[in-house]
Amino acid sequence: MSETGNPAPARHMPKALRRFDPAVATAFGCILLLLVVGSIYSTSFLSPEYLLQQLKVASFLGVIATGMMLVVLLGQIDLSVPWTVSAGAMMACAAAAYGEAGVILAIPFGVLCGVLIGLVNGIGVAYLRIPSMIITLATNAVAQGLMVVYTGGFSPQDSAPEAMRWLATGFLVPGVPNAVVVWALVGAATVFALTRTTFGRSVYAIGNRESAAYLSGIRTRRITLIAFAVCGGLNAFGGVLLAGYASKAAQSMGDAYLLPAIAAVVLGGTSILGGRGSYLGTVAGVILITLLQSILSVMQMPEAGRQITYGIVIVAMLLLYGRTPAVR
């Protein structure tokens, strides 16, 4: 049930240190390493403007990875990220085209579409007991099909309303982009839900052993359903933010977020088998992935090289601390 590390650290260590997950520490170490490498490569890498810009870019991935983390904590996975993100963005932009009311309801409507996709996933996983990997791939295909039919195969023409652009690029607090504030709020809510509510404790319990959680009276199916719905909603919300950032939705805007979202969660020390992981780790994973992407693009690495580096870094880091125990 504990959200800290798996190999129980030595008893004599101070409490603060004992609570610190080695995986999270490794992730933060890698962030420092990337910053050092980046600053050697370019002097402007450590400037506050650049770092703040990185944080803003990271916040889109951060919101999406939050949803992914909830589902991974249950021991499930959500592969419907690409088209949930796109559907959220497209539907929000589409709603905005319907006059005054549409503009006001654009963001809630986009998120609602994501929640609906998440509900289908949740019903499939919790009530029909279909492996999450399969049902989410299927809903991804259905969402893609719906969006292709809706847009006629082209990128939609509707542009993002003012409110969405403000949410992604505006400044409510001087100097801090709104997207970062949004991520901080989402993160704070998640930390509260995971550590201070029965819902959060149930999520960890189900991830550890679902049958035990069921026998101790947790309504496991309902919790799973809610987690998937929240995950879908957060994915769509990430899409809404992205559409606000790019000021319009695009067909394949979500494709680039599936692998980074899973990678961020797993690199942050959350066990892919569920039941273990902290939000701090996910934050570290998100920043790590974003910095890596940023360094690769500063080095003007072509897309091919980026994909290869990406895959290798993820496998290498998982080999460092993400291994499952051997069969005995």
Partner 1 sequence: MSEWRYWYAEQRGTLLALAIFILMFVIYTANHPAGFSANVVQTAANKGVLLAFVAMAQTLVVLTAGIDLSVGMIFLLTNCLASWIVLGNPFETALGVIGVLLAGLLCGALNGAIVIYGRLQPIVATIATGAVYFGIALLLRPTPGGSVNEDLADVLTGRIFGVVPTSLATLLVVVLVVWVPFSRSVLGRAAYASGSSEVSAYMSGMPIRRAKFAAYTLAGLLAAIGGLFLTFFTYTGEAAYASGNAYTLFSIAAVVLGGVSLFGGRGSVIGAIFGALAFRTIGDLLFVFDFDPLWQPLFQGVVLLVAVSLGAFGLFRVRNRLEWFG
| Binding residues for partner 1 (CB under 8 A) | 77, 124, 128-131, 133-135, 137-146, 148-149, 152-153, 210-211, 214-215, 252, 255, 258-259, 262-263, 266, 272-273, 302-312, 314-315, 318-319, 322-328
Q: Which two tokens stand for residue 125?
A: 């996983």
CA-wise closest residue to 52 among 172, 168, 146, 180: 180
CA-wise closest residue to 25 among 7, 47, 1: 7
Identify the residue whose tokens are 């930390």.
191
Is 5 or 124 the residue whose CB approaches partner 1 more closely?
Answer: 124
**C-alpha angle with apex 213: 233 to 17, nearest 5 degrees?**
80
Residue 2 to residue 236: CA distance in whole angstroms: 30
* Nearest-approach distance from CB 264 to partner 1, in angstroms: 12
* Nearest-approach distance from CB 88 to partner 1, in angstroms: 17
CA distances from 178 to 74, 192, 250, 316 (A): 30, 21, 22, 34
Residue 147 to residue 152: CA distance in whole angstroms: 8
Is 68 or 168 the residue whose CB approaches partner 1 more closely?
Answer: 68
* Nearest-approach distance from CB 199 to partner 1, in angstroms: 20
Is 43 or 324 the residue whose CB approaches partner 1 more closely?
Answer: 324
Instruction: Tell how far CA 137 is from the center of its chain.
Output: 17
**C-alpha angle with apex 61: 57 to 63, nearest 5 degrees?**
115
β-partners of residue 176 are 173
* Nearest-approach distance from CB 38 to partner 1, in angstroms: 21
Is 57 or 138 the residue whose CB approaches partner 1 more closely?
Answer: 138
Is 88 or 244 the residue whose CB approaches partner 1 more closely?
Answer: 88
Identify the residue whose tokens are 């998937």.
228
* Nearest-approach distance from CB 63 to partner 1, in angstroms: 20
Is 170 or 322 the residue whose CB approaches partner 1 more closely?
Answer: 322
Q: Which two tokens stand for residue 322?
A: 């993400």
Q: Which two tokens stand for residue 57?
A: 């870019």
* Nearest-approach distance from CB 142 to partner 1, in angstroms: 4
Is 229 or 265 the residue whose CB approaches partner 1 more closely?
Answer: 265
* Nearest-approach distance from CB 82 to partner 1, in angstroms: 8
